[in-house]
Structure 1
Amino acid sequence: MNVMFPKLEKKFVILYTLSTGLILTLILAVAFLSYLASQNSRQNSMFQDQLFTLMSRLQTDSIFSDSYLAQLEHKNHLAIYIEENGSPFFFPGSYQTRTEREKLFDRAENLAAEEGIFPNSHPISSNLLQSSLLEIRGDEGDLYLGNILIIQTANGYKKLILLQDISGSQMQSIKTLIFYLGIDCIGILLLFLTGRWFVRRSLKPLEETYEKQQDFVAAASHELRSPLAVIQSTADAIADAPEEQVRLLDVIRKECRRGSSLVKNLLLLAAADQKQWAVKKMYFEMDEMLLSLLEVYEPLCVSRNGKLLLELPDESMPKVYADPALCRQIFTILLDNAVAYGLGDGGNREQSVAVRDAETDIGRKAVVKCGDGRRIVLRAKYLHPHVEVSVIDHGPGIPDGEKRLIFDRFYRQDQSRRQKEHFGLGLSVAAKLAEIQGVELDVRDTEGGGSTFRVTI
């Protein structure tokens, strides 16, 4: 495995986790701050309600019962101090604060003094003197909201110090913060795991493509080295054996054609991969193309002690819409493949009947039939809305496990398929030419043995 991709995967995973983790953290931070603001607003509102209630009672009532104040303190976690004209009400308090009540009241008065409200202050311009909302911290880590107000009455003035214990709310805020941090950590962990899965899934096709490219370059270099080595050794032999010059020059010409064919196929695949191939689709007669191919390949099959059959439907086939030049090249590759392997040493050696009778009118699309033997069948069918063309051979066939591999570049099944003139590029070229014009190409077993390549347009 190339070390480049694990490093690239690691960088992408880290980048993905950091970016998405930061977004998640910001979202949770905003949510927590909104929660804190809501909680503080609710606390302040509840405290103001209690303060307003007591202030109203101070203005209207001259007597407060201990039971009323005790119930108010317990229900709302309050600490209440009231005095009239400098004399405190006799109420020891019922809510037990963690810090002594007198210390808390003194601290509240000190904070109010910083705002200009001293213990002996009285309202001057109005009948009410009130501090801002105070925050008092106790000795045991407890926290209180507080307020001091002085009300002018007909008999003098009344002073109220009101504290509310919010330590429980503060602890709840800490628990909520821990909860949000836990969600953030779990979320980042899940983002890391999903990011690693996503990055691996995304990089896998790229890694496979890179490995195929490396294999392709290595295979192409190996295949090109062979004809070049033959040409060089043959050229050296000409100088040593001038009497063999004609034969050796013929060898050089064959190797040049072989190398040229390889380069042509490589350039074709490169152009198709880069989508630089110009596809010129048009309507054309498929049976005319097949008849033309029959005339070209029938002599070749006969020279291999085989037969080429053409089977066309009795009914007229409609025109097909594709690139005729590319389709012809696909059929040429499939027929070359069938001749090389279907009529090779592994083919059926039984005697076959004649492919074309001298009296048969091929132009009228007659169906030419033949018995079993060394033969290749070129068959066309009209299966609305498609035209299906099959190239059928009766060679050794292709194992099921290798059917999906035969369209790979430089793939050759076994030693029996490693003829010198074949590079393993033909079927990959055919598959690419079919792909770029939207034509389907597949392979299946021939009944009785062999391979059937189908082109569906």
Structure 2
Amino acid sequence: MISRLRRRLTLLMTAMTALVLAGALLVTWRLSEEQYRRSAEQLFENNFSSLCDRLADADSVSDVWLAEQEQSTECLLFLKDNGASLHYEGSLASRTPRSELEALVLEAVGQLLDTSRRDSAGAVFRQEAHGTMAGNASDSYFMALALLPRGETGAYLMVASLQDKGFLARHEVLSALQYAGLWVAGSALLALISFWLTGKALAPTALAMRRQKEFIAAASHELRSPLAVIKTSLQAVDGDLPLERQTVLLHNSQKEADRMSRLIDDLLLLANGDLGNLPAHLEPLAPDNLCIEVYDQFYLVARDQGHALTLALPEEAVPTIRADEGRLRQLLAILLNNAIEHTPAETPIELVLRADGKNGGVTISVVDHGPGIPDAAKPHLFDRFYRADASRTSKRNFGLGLSVAKELARLHGASLTATDTPGGGATFTLVFPKGPK
């Protein structure tokens, strides 16, 4: 399901970003082509002006020189001296024959230039005109026309230059292919990035779903055992058994029902914590008074299990913390029960309260001197249904206690960590941030 969702999100993100990229590249391509066209037109006009300046100062021009000019500028040249064509056949080929282009040029000259404009001495004014012209073979040209005066007798030289605009179309196609290649490469890169981002975005969801499946499987496994005992006991009660035996079976059923109730309570607490619906009433609380009450509650329990429980309180005043008293009692009970159950008899257990004078926080620790926590188990210690000792068969242990404790610590904005006790054992430390003044 997650893989299919990831593929769909990748496809959606890639399509959206590729569409934006296509729009940006299209605009850039159009601007680039427009700039290229303007540059080409400006270069054509500059070359023509330079040619006219040379012709205006030259007494004569040769066919070789004109051919060199055509080859260097890739422009067709047409010249007329006082209306008479020069004997120059040209060096460049064109789709429309030169004779037809010459006729079109003369028509444009008649429209754009005026040979009758003269100064007081009768010399023709120098004139230039620029534009475009269409040929007769679906070809199009940049066009430049000029009248150059030749002395004061009214003589003039007509110069025309045509540049086939086909190179613009070729450049446009090549440029379009380059931008298309950029779009393909960019889209591929965006697809990879999208795939990576969707993977990162869906990772918490995938983890949550995996944990949910593991949670349901583990819960089902834990519930199956008490249900089987209850079912078997009730079936046996219906049979022909002595009253004493029936009483034992009913007592066992009651104990298994109590186990199921505790398990369901823990599951509901964790589920509400995951949803952010775990109720809590955080109020200013004196941690030293609470520790004393919890110590009094567990002193006899620990002694009956062969443990000496001690309480260590600081001499200085301890700042108050914001806590739900009932929930915090439950958290400390889990830690103390965990220490009592997982340490051998005759090993001491300590409940330690400390005040952090520097940061104004409060630390509550449960210290035992048992076998400690294996290094391999430490990363999973607060996982749900995790048991460091897989062979443990105690029916009191569901593997949820420390998970519930972690959730209760988070509810109080505190941190719960497990470290090794110097000399052997485990220390669970609950650190509260600075409380209200």
The TM tier, using the shorter chain, reads 0.7 to 0.9
Q: What amino acid is aligned across from residue 97 of structure 1 in structure 2?
A: L
- Does the C-alpha gap of structure 1 residues 8 and 105 become closer, same or farther in structure 2, counting only changes over 3 Å? farther
Q: Residue 378 in 1 paired to residue 373 in 2?
A: no
Superposed CA RMSD: 3.5
Corresponding residue for residue 253 of structure 1: 254
Mapped contact 1:109–1:148 kept (Cα < 8 A) = no
- Does the C-alpha gap of structure 1 residues 410 and 87 become closer, same or farther in structure 2, counting only changes over 3 Å? same
Task: Tell me, in whole angstroms, the C-alpha distance in 2 between the residues paired with 1:433 and 1:379.
Answer: 19
- Does the C-alpha gap of structure 1 residues 17 and 432 become closer, same or farther in structure 2, counting only changes over 3 Å? same
Displacement, 1:260?
A: 0.9
Task: Tell me, in whole angstroms, the C-alpha distance in 1 between the residues paired with 2:94 and 2:78.
Answer: 15
Mapped contact 1:269–1:429 kept (Cα < 8 A) = yes
- Does the C-alpha gap of structure 1 residues 70 and 280 become closer, same or farther in structure 2, counting only changes over 3 Å? same
Corresponding residue for residue 243 of structure 2: 243
Q: Residue 414 in 1 paired to residue 409 in 2?
A: no
Corresponding residue for residue 145 of structure 1: 142
Task: Tell me, in whole angstroms, the C-alpha distance in 2 between the residues paired with 1:104 and 1:90.
Answer: 13
Q: How does 1:3-152 map to 2 (within 5 A)?
A: 4-50=1-47, 65-66=61-62, 69=66, 72-84=69-81, 86-93=83-90, 96-99=91-94, 103-104=97-98, 106-107=100-101, 109=103, 117=107, 132-136=131-135, 144-147=141-144
Task: Tell me, in whole angstroms, the C-alpha distance in 2 between the residues paired with 1:198 and 1:18.
Answer: 14
Task: Tell me, in whole angstroms, the C-alpha distance in 1 between the residues paired with 2:274 and 2:204.
Answer: 15
Displacement, 1:104?
A: 4.1
Displacement, 1:411?
A: 1.0
Corresponding residue for residue 369 of structure 2: 394
Query: Between Structure 1 and Structure 2, how many residues are aligned?
Result: 416
Task: Tell me, in whole angstroms, the C-alpha distance in 2 between the residues paired with 1:123 and 1:294.
Answer: 112
Task: Tell me, in whole angstroms, the C-alpha distance in 2 between the residues paired with 1:108 and 1:434.
Answer: 94
1:417 match: secondary structure: coil
Corresponding residue for residue 410 of structure 2: 435
Q: What amino acid is aligned across from residue 255 of structure 2 in structure 1?
A: K
Task: Tell me, in whole angstroms, the C-alpha distance in 2 between the residues paired with 1:41 and 1:259.
Answer: 84
Displacement, 1:122?
A: 9.7
Q: Residue 453 in 1 paired to residue 428 in 2?
A: yes
1:401 match: secondary structure: coil
Task: Tell me, in whole angstroms, the C-alpha distance in 1 between the residues paired with 2:413 and 2:310.
Answer: 27
Task: Tell me, in whole angstroms, the C-alpha distance in 2 between the residues paired with 1:420 and 1:41.
Answer: 87
Displacement, 1:49?
A: 4.4
Task: Tell me, in whole angstroms, the C-alpha distance in 2 between the residues paired with 1:330 and 1:119.
Answer: 100
Task: Give ranges in structure 1 of 5+ residues lacking alignment.
Answer: 350-372
2:284 match: secondary structure: strand
Displacement, 1:86?
A: 4.7
TM-score by length of 2: 0.83
Task: Give ranges in structure 2 of 5+ residues lacking alignment.
Answer: 118-126, 433-437
Mapped contact 2:353–2:363 kept (Cα < 8 A) = yes
1:45 match: secondary structure: helix
Task: Tell me, in whole angstroms, the C-alpha distance in 1 between the residues paired with 2:66 and 2:115.
Answer: 30
- Does the C-alpha gap of structure 1 residues 420 and 235 become closer, same or farther in structure 2, counting only changes over 3 Å? same
Task: Tell me, in whole angstroms, the C-alpha distance in 2 between the residues paired with 1:123 and 1:383.
Answer: 97
Mapped contact 1:131–1:148 kept (Cα < 8 A) = yes
Displacement, 1:211?
A: 0.7
Q: What amino acid is aligned across from residue 349 of structure 2 in structure 1?
A: I
Displacement, 1:227?
A: 1.5
Displacement, 1:410?
A: 1.0
Identity %: 31
Task: Tell me, in whole angstroms, the C-alpha distance in 1 between the residues paired with 2:307 and 2:108.
Answer: 120
Alpha-carbon displacement from aligned partner over 1:33-84 (angstroms, at most 9, x marks no partner): 10110111122233344556777999x8896533875665455332211224
Task: Tell me, in whole angstroms, the C-alpha distance in 1 between the residues paired with 2:130 and 2:352.
Answer: 101
